[in-house]
Every structure is written in structure tokens, then in C-alpha cells.
């Protein structure tokens, strides 16, 4: 099967696997204990934190390891909300955030917080002016993702952050889809909190991180209490081998971002060329803005996306932008926010190309998709 779902999860890199295997055998001691083997594990975690910090231009002491971006997003949003209650209860998020951010905001709303949801334009972009107009004196957090997980649109975070700083409002950014794909520097962005997910850039699942600026206007309250590990920010024994894997993935990403060749973008271009030559007929979502490398959100009018993917089973792995209207699931909230109808959302497929995707795979996948789309259209006619 040709794997074109790298936005959902990437393969674990060989170097990452080797590092975790070594760590599991050599550094099994509790890194929070006070003896030689524990200090060795502690040093390995410190090395990993340093690598993650280097990837985003942060200080090592500002990194808190989490179980992934979902926890990091919850920690940032709930943590700041509870810590900032004395100042206000208003939070701003965008309509195109990952489900874990939107669900967190809805949960806070049930706890009495006031949530403003800012809508995007037709390309999925959240404009800084829209965020600025939503900020109030009682606003205690703005959360906008760096890159969208469905259509890949890159948000104007630095511009949004300027308005936040002018109002002393902390800004959180979910960067799960951007890390390892585009350069990310927290100082240049001007933000206060940033979430990371290991399995989105060739690291393991079950590990991520939250960067909290040392001068964050409102420092988040911990969500997990216990032994006070990680400076009290997140209690619980830190998994040495997972941290090691994340650190190696971060180190590899730092090197990749200096490469001259952007493999995912090149493969996506070859894929599109085959589709265009076939005259299969498609619409590229968010075509007019900068997107993360290797992300394509394509709508095939007249073909249900789930039908297309069902016909690709065993050949190509990809994701729907939304469930078919005949299904039980709701259409993609991202595509709806961008102005697509339920029918249009149900015709959308997301393709994610990775660093290991070959030219032959990209072209073969496109040919298989052309056939699947044509068959789906005949069935729907």
C-alpha cells in the first residue's frame, strides 16, 4: 500500500527506533531518583529536551514533556484559563482548530468561561484583524494553530501575536502539523505557548511537549498533580525512551529543514501533474495561500470521498476531509468554516506526502485515484 497519510501520522524513523531501543535497555532507571543509573536517565531526558528546544529556538528549561499535542493543548488552554481567572474569563480560538482544542474550549465554556470563535476566510486563514477585534480587557488567552491539519494553511501567527502582546494577552499555538515541515522559531513568532506532537514528524506516538515562555504573562496551572516532576509543571515519571525518541526526531527535523530539496512538495507536485493530465476534474482547497509541504486537500465533484477511499483499500492510504452525507459523522468543521457545503466537504480527500514517498509511488497513487474517482462517479450517477 502506498502511504499518503503522513498528516495523520508519520512512520517512526530508523534512528528514532534505535535510540528508543537503546534507552529501554540501558536507561531503565527512574530519572527522578538519586543514584547513578537515575542520573544517566535524567541526562538522556535533558539531551532530548535540548534537542526539542533547539528545533523551535527555545531555552531547554521552557520545555515540558507531555503525552502528545492533545495533552499539551489541554494543558496550555485549561492551565492558562484557570490561572487567569482573577483577570478575566474570556478566551479566543479559531474555528479551524484541531478537535482537541475546540473540545477543550467547549468544556471551559461549560465551566463558565466565555469563548469567542474566530472564523477563517475561504482558504482557512485566520486574519489578525479578526483576532484583534475580538480581544477584550477580560481576554486571558488566544489560541490559533500554526498550520491546519486538514488543508495545510499556514496562519499569520506573528501578526496575530503582535496584537496579543499589545494587550498583554498570552498566545498559544498548536504547532503539531508545522513542526518538522517548516521552520518554527518561537521568538520570531512572538508567542507564549506552543504544542508539539512526536508522531507528526517521524517520532513515536505517546510523546509531545508544551513550550512555555519564561515570561509568559499567565503561566498555566498544572493539570496533572503528584510528585512535582518537571519543575511541578507536569507530575509523573517521565518516559526516558519516548523522550529520547522525540529528541532524535527533533534533531533530524533540524537537519532536514536545512536541506535544499523539499521531497514532500516535489512528490505532491508530481501527483497533481498526473491528476491534471488525466482530466479527472478536481478542486484544490486552500490553493491560494502558503501551505505546509506535502499537504493536499482535493475535492472531486460528483464522487463521495469515502467511496473513493473504499476503492483504494489495499492500494493507497489517505483520509477523507469529511464523511459522506450518508454516514453518521458530521462533515469536516474545517471545510464548513471555509464555506464548503456538506456535499462539497463529503467530496474531499486529504493526501499527505512524506520524506520517504517516492516519485513512482506518487505517480502510481495518482493513477489509482483517477480510476477510483471515475468509478465512484459512475456509481453515483
Active site residues: 324
Q: What is the pLDDT of residue 183?
A: 97
Structural fold of domain 14-256: 3.40.640
Q: Give the contacts of 98 (CB within 8 A, at least 6 positions apart).
A: 69, 70, 73, 145, 149, 174, 176
- 120-154 pLDDT, tens digit per residue, is 999 999 999 999 999 999 999 999 999 999 999 99
Domain ranges of the chain: 14-256, 260-380
- 167-187 pLDDT, tens digit per residue, is 999 999 999 999 999 999 999
Burial (0-12, 13-18, 19+ Cβ within 10 Å), 30:
middle
- 27-72 pLDDT, tens digit per residue, is 999 999 999 999 999 999 999 999 999 999 999 999 999 999 999 9
- 300-345 pLDDT, tens digit per residue, is 999 999 999 999 999 999 999 654 444 546 789 999 999 999 999 9
Confidence band for 24, pLDDT divided at 50, 70 and 90: very high
Order of strands, sheet of 319-320, starting from the edge strand that comes earlier in the sequence = 283-284, 295-299, 348-352, 319-320
Structural fold of domain 260-380: 3.90.1150
Q: What is the pLDDT of residue 92?
A: 98
Q: What is the pLDDT of residue 330?
A: 78
- 188-224 pLDDT, tens digit per residue, is 999 999 999 999 999 999 999 999 999 999 999 999 9
H or E stretch at 106: helix 99-110
- 266-300 pLDDT, tens digit per residue, is 999 999 999 999 999 999 999 999 999 999 999 99
Amino acid at each position: 500500500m502506498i502511504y499518503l497519510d503522513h498528516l495523520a501520522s508519520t512512520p517512526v524513523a530508523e534512528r528514532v527506533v534505535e535510540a528508543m531501543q537503546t534507552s529501554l535497555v540501558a536507561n531503565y532507571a527512574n530519572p527522578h531518583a538519586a543514584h547513578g543509573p537515575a542520573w544517566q536517565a535524567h541526562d538522556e531526558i535533558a539531551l532530548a529536551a535540548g534537542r526539542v528546544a533547539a528545533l523551535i529556538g527555545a531555552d531547554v528549561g521552557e520545555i515540558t514533556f507531555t503525552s502528545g499535542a492533545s495533552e499539551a493543548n489541554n494543558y496550555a488552554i485549561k492551565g492558562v484559563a484557570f490561572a487567569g481567572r482573577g483577570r478575566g474569563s474570556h478566551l479566543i480560538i479559531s474555528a479551524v482548530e484541531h478537535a482537541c482544542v475546540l473540545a477543550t474550549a467547549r468544556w471551559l465554556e461549560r465551566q463558565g468561561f466565555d469563548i469567542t470563535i474566530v472564523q477563517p476566510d475561504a482558504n482557512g486563514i485566520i486574519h489578525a484583524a479578526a483576532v484583534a477585534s475580538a480581544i477584550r480587557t477580560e481576554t486571558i488567552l488566544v489560541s490559533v494553530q500554526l498550520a491546519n491539519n486538514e488543508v495545510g494553511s499556514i496562519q499569520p501567527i506573528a501578526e496575530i501575536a503582535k496584537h496579543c502582546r499589545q494587550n498583554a494577552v498570552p498566545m498559544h499555538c498548536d504547532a503539531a502539523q508545522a513542526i518538522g515541515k517548516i521552520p518554527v522559531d518561537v521568538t520570531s513568532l512572538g508567542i507564549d505557548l506552543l504544542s508539539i506532537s512526536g508522531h507528526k514528524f517521524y517520532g513515536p506516538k505517546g510523546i509531545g511537549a508544551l513550550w512555555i515562555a519564561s515570561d509568559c504573562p499567565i503561566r498555566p496551572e498544572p493539570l496533572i498533580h503528584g510528585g512535582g516532576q518537571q519543575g511541578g509543571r507536569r507530575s509523573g515519571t517521565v518516559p526516558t525512551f519516548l523522550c529520547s525518541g522525540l529528541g532524535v526526531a527533533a534533531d533530524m527535523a533540524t537537519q532536514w529543514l536545512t536541506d535544499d530539496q523539499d521531497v514532500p512538495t516535489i512528490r505532491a507536485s508530481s501527483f497533481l501533474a498526473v491528476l491534471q493530465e488525466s482530466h479527472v476534474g478536481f478542486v484544490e482547497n486552500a490553493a491560494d495561500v502558503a501551505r505546509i509541504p506535502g499537504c493536499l486537500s482535493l475535492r472531486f465533484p460528483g464522487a463521495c470521498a469515502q467511496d473513493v477511499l473504499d476503492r483504494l483499500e489495499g492500494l493507497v492510504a489517505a483520509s477523507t476531509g469529511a464523511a459522506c452525507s450518508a454516514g453518521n459523522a458530521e462533515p469536516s468543521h474545517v471545510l464548513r468554516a471555509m464555506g464548503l457545503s456538506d456535499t462539497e466537504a463529503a467530496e474531499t480527500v486529504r493526501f499527505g506526502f512524506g520524506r520517504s514517498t517516492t516519485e513512482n509511488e506518487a505517480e502510481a497513487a495518482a493513477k489509482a485515484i483517477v480510476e477510483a474517482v471515475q468509478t465512484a462517479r459512475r456509481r453515483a450517477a
